[in-house]
């Protein structure tokens, strides 16, 4: 595997663009992704412990390495006071890398749970056991995480009809594999995965020394198949209007009979809650019915398998290895499991997110970087405002409300203004299993405690040490974590054209989410409300439909094309973000021209930097999983967003007859 220390200096090049990574034998107008990245693609190998490789993965590796170093220092600090952040972080990490202790304890930490499952003899107790698994582990709108291996997932966020108050959102769950398609798709490839899945479930139950593992596994797989049948497809889950269903407590009983809701909710800590938002009503109804109709025996086996899978990272290594063999190798094509210290660092980083994040930004995110980004954000917002002013299809009243929404947008750069308090979380050195379980429950209680309290708009949904960025529609806010603000996305030492082409387009992308098919349904206060005239919405939807068609036409595999509907929000944000970042770049120049670098004009630097920020190599199973399940199109097609911008045609002399060429009326312009 190529180490980071070798790879990174190659990214932070003197020119700010990877000239050696370009393949000049490819015409930019035929395949811009391969023109910008062809030589890099030919010479780069995906590390054995990764499903994909590119700038995002490289920065994630670097950040894991830096974070692990901070964690090791905390773990070694014997003077850290009981209850201090350093002590908590250090003990958490030290417990996770202490595999000898984890192996010695065996299944003992999970034994009370397994015994309770074995003893389940009636439906009420079953409902309690299912309720005890509920966690705050999904997010329908911000990070858009729709998967939970527990029966349902909980998301506590602003009520979309009443953004001054929090509401509990219930989401479908209960599948071990990533999506219903893995259970139901008739293709030979998916059928093969199902055979491997049955073997995996059998092996996990065998490792736990349960009797008749094959018979139990068959029951688990059949029950999950039925749950998958009840699930709604991912593209439907993405539709906020179909998700915003307010149910009273009584309506859970009447609309979704089967599960003993009183017992389930009491065990989940939601016993007194009277109002819920049920994101996928059809699925919640279907899953609830299965709790009553399917044999208790099948549910017991199901709960045992899920308890083992959920805790695999903190059980004896055989469990983690078996789980990786299926979820890592079979489902994502990754040959090698990540090293212990990387996994431990990531688990600690997720459990104690902002406490670790605070240490991270103190060390790695200087105020000067924050200031330069904030200057770019100001130009992006100005460019976006001008685009709104210049739209010829939009009515004046709709424009006024769009400007109002833009003005109210809260842009967070690097880290949150206020840090979360973890002092209520008990961490015990040597108890990896207990620590992870308590951290999950701490998160759940943090969510439950928000119910009934005023909304805190300064709260972040991503940690500063996460390589990503996010739009929070109901908060009308953006988070740009510090770990994303590094080369090749951002580099204070290079020309601005390149920063605008990379991090500038990311900022533009996130701003645009406020105005994409989903974000544009939220007003300035975060309320889900239509603030558009019918004619304006009609124009917007017609443009969006053309974008759906454009992306439906991309075929990464002969038997699988990109789902233009599933990826629509992200594609709108890509098109609009690129256009706004380009404007902001021109705005930053005032009336001068950007200096050429290595013979490249300012515009060429901008577009090349964009396409290089999306460079990636992805293993085939992981790419298939992405196309089926992910709201983002594969990176290659994201780089090709350029074909919708007139300036790209001029910058590279692209003409009709070339593969990416779109006649001017076919180029999609939304904002
Ligand atoms: Zn996005």
Question: Which DSSP letter does residue 109 get?
Answer: G
The helix-helix angle for 602-613 and 568-588 (nearest 10°) equals: 150
Mean pLDDT of 83-104: 97
Mean pLDDT of 384-392: 92
CA of residue 301 to ligand 1 center, whole Å: 38
pLDDT of residue 14: 61
Q: Band the pLDDT of 12: cuts 50, 70, 90.
A: very low
Q: Which stretch of 2-16, 57-71, 82-96, 134-148 has the lowest confidence by average pLDDT?
A: 2-16
CA of residue 470 to ligand 1 center, whole Å: 7
Q: Band the pLDDT of 379: cuts 50, 70, 90.
A: very high
pLDDT of residue 15: 76
Q: Band the pLDDT of 591: cuts 50, 70, 90.
A: confident
274 has pLDDT over 80: yes
CA of residue 632 to ligand 1 center, whole Å: 7
Mean pLDDT of 63-69: 96
Beta pairing class for 410-414 and 477-481: parallel
Determine contact, residues 133/306, Cβ cutoff 8 Å: yes
5 has pLDDT over 50: no
pLDDT in tens, 393-418: 888 988 999 999 999 999 999 999 99
Q: Band the pLDDT of 13: cuts 50, 70, 90.
A: low
Q: Band the pLDDT of 457: cuts 50, 70, 90.
A: confident
DSSP string, 298-318: HHHHHHHHHHHHHTGGGS-HH
Name the helix (H) or strand (E) containing 405: helix 396-408
pLDDT of residue 11: 45
pLDDT of residue 599: 94
35 has pLDDT over 90: yes
348 has pLDDT over 50: yes
3 has pLDDT over 60: no
CA of residue 411 to ligand 1 center, whole Å: 15
CA of residue 103 to ligand 1 center, whole Å: 41
579 has pLDDT over 60: yes
Mean pLDDT of 247-266: 98
**CA-based nearest residue to 398, from 539, 527, 241, 512:** 539
pLDDT in tens, 515-555: 877 888 899 888 998 888 888 889 889 989 999 999 999 99
Mean pLDDT of 75-79: 94
Determine contact, residues 158/167, Cβ cutoff 8 Å: yes
CA of residue 52 to ligand 1 center, whole Å: 19
pLDDT of residue 475: 87
CA of residue 144 to ligand 1 center, whole Å: 10
CA of residue 467 to ligand 1 center, whole Å: 13
DSSP string, 171-198: EE---SSSSTHHHH--SHHHHHHHHHHH
Mean pLDDT of 62-85: 95
pTM above 0.75, yes or no: yes
CA of residue 565 to ligand 1 center, whole Å: 14
DSSP string, 559-581: TB---TTTTHHHHHHHHHHHHHH
Higher-scoring residue by pLDDT: 163, 352: 352
> What residues contact residue 329 under an 8 Å CB cut-off, 6+ apart?
335
pLDDT of residue 144: 83
Burial (0-12, 13-18, 19+ Cβ within 10 Å), 645: buried
Beta pairing class for 470-472 and 477-481: antiparallel
In sequence order, the β-bridge partners of residue 478 are: 411, 471
**CA-based nearest residue to 597, from 449, 488, 495:** 495
Determine contact, residues 562/551, Cβ cutoff 8 Å: yes
CA of residue 631 to ligand 1 center, whole Å: 8
Name the helix (H) or strand (E) containing 246: strand 246-248
CA of residue 569 to ligand 1 center, whole Å: 7
Q: Band the pLDDT of 392: cuts 50, 70, 90.
A: confident
Q: Which stretch of 11-15, 154-158, 304-308, 467-471 has the lowest confidence by average pLDDT?
A: 11-15
10 has pLDDT over 70: no
Instruction: Specify the 3-state DSSP secondary structure of 277.
Output: strand
CA of residue 477 to ligand 1 center, whole Å: 13
CA of residue 510 to ligand 1 center, whole Å: 6
Strand order in the sheet with 246-248: 152-159, 162-172, 275-278, 246-248
Mean pLDDT of 215-244: 95
CA of residue 478 to ligand 1 center, whole Å: 11
pLDDT of residue 497: 95
145 has pLDDT over 50: yes
Phi, psi of 471 (to 5 degrees): -105, 135
Average pLDDT, the chain: 94
pLDDT of residue 7: 36
| Cα–Cα dist 175/589, whole Å | 52
- What sections of 111-259 are H helices per DSSP? 111-118, 123-131, 181-184, 188-207, 213-230, 234-237, 240-243, 249-255
Mean pLDDT of 296-300: 98
CA of residue 570 to ligand 1 center, whole Å: 5
CA of residue 595 to ligand 1 center, whole Å: 31
pLDDT of residue 658: 98
Determine contact, residues 109/307, Cβ cutoff 8 Å: no
pLDDT in tens, 195-212: 999 999 999 999 999 999
pLDDT in tens, 459-485: 999 999 999 999 898 888 999 999 999
CA of residue 513 to ligand 1 center, whole Å: 7
CA of residue 568 to ligand 1 center, whole Å: 10
Higher-scoring residue by pLDDT: 455, 518: 455
Phi, psi of 528 (to 5 degrees): -75, 105
CA of residue 573 to ligand 1 center, whole Å: 6
CA of residue 580 to ligand 1 center, whole Å: 15
């Amino acid at each position: 595997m190529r180490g980071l220390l070798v790879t990174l200096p190659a990214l932070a090049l003197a020119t700010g663009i990877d000239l050696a990574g370009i393949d000049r034998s490819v015409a930019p107008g035929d395949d811009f992704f391969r023109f910008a990245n062809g030589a890099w693609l030919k010479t780069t190998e995906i590390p054995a412990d990764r499903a994909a490789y590119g700038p995002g993965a490289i920065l994630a590796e670097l950040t894991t390495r830096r974070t692990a170093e901070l964690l090791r220092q905390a773990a070694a600090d014997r003077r850290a006071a009981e209850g201090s952040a350093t002590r908590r972080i250090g003990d958490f990490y030290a417990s996770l890398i202490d595999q000898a202790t984890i192996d010695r304890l065996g299944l003992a930490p999970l034994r009370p749970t397994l015994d309770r499952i074995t003893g389940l003899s009636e439906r009420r107790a079953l409902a309690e056991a299912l309720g005890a698994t509920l966690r705050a582990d999904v997010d329908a709108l911000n990070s858009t995480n729709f998967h939970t291996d527990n029966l349902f997932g909980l998301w506590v966020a602003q009520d979309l009809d009443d953004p001054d108050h929090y509401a509990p959102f219930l989401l479908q769950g209960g599948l071990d594999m990533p999506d219903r398609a893995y259970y139901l798709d008739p293709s030979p490839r998916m059928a093969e995965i199902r055979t491997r899945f049955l073997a995996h479930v059998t092996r996990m139950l065998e490792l736990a020394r349960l009797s008749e593992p094959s018979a139990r596994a068959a029951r688990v797989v059949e029950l999950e198949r039925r749950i998958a049948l009840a699930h709604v497809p991912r593209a439907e889950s993405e539709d906020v209007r179909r998700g915003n269903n307010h149910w009273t407590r009584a309506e859970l009983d009447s609309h979704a009979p089967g599960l003993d809701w009183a017992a389930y909710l009491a065990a989940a800590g939601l016993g007194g809650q009277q109002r819920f938002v049920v994101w996928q009503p059809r699925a919640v109804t279907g899953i609830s019915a299965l709790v009553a109709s399917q044999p208790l025996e099948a549910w017991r086996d199901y709960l045992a398998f899920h308890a083992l899978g959920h805790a695999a990272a903190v059980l004896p290594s055989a469990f983690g290895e078996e789980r990786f063999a299926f979820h890592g190798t079979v489902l994502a094509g990754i040959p090698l499991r990540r090293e212990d210290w990387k996994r431990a660092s990531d688990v600690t980083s997720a459990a104690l997110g902002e406490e670790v994040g605070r240490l991270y930004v103190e060390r790695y995110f200087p105020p000067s970087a924050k200031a330069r980004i904030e200057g770019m954000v100001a130009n992006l917002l100005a460019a976006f405002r001008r685009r709104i002013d210049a739209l010829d299809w939009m009515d004046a009243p709709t424009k006024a409300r769009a400007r109002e929404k833009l003005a109210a947008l809260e842009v967070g750069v690097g880290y949150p203004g206020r840090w979360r308090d973890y002092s209520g979380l008990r961490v015990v050195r040597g108890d990896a299993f207990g620590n992870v379980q308590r951290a999950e429950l701490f998160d759940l209680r943090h969510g439950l405690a928000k119910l009934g309290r005023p909304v805190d708009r300064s709260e972040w949904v991503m940690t500063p040490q996460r390589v990503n960025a996010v739009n929070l529609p109901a908060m009308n806010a953006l988070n740009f974590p510090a770990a994303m603000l590094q080369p090749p996305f951002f580099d204070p030492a290079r020309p601005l054209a390149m920063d605008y082409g990379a991090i500038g387009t990311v900022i533009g992308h996130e701003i645009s989410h406020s105005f994409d098919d989903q974000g544009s349904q939220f007003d300035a206060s975060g309320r889900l409300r239509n603030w558009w005239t019918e004619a304006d919405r009609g124009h917007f939807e017609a443009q969006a439909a053309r974008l759906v068609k454009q992306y439906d036409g991309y075929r990464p595999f002969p038997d699988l094309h990109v789902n233009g509907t599933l990826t629509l929000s992200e594609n709108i944000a890509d098109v609009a973000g690129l256009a706004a970042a380009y404007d902001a770049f021109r705005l930053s120049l005032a009336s001068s021209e950007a200096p050429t670098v290595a013979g490249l004009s300012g515009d060429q630097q901008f577009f090349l930097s964009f396409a290089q920020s999306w460079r990636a190599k992805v293993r085939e199973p992981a790419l298939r999983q992405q196309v089926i399940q992910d709201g983002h199109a594969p990176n290659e097609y994201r780089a090709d967003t350029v074909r919708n911008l007139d300036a790209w045609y001029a910058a590279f002399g692209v003409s009709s007859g070339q593969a990416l060429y779109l006649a001017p009326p076919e180029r999609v312009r939304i904002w």
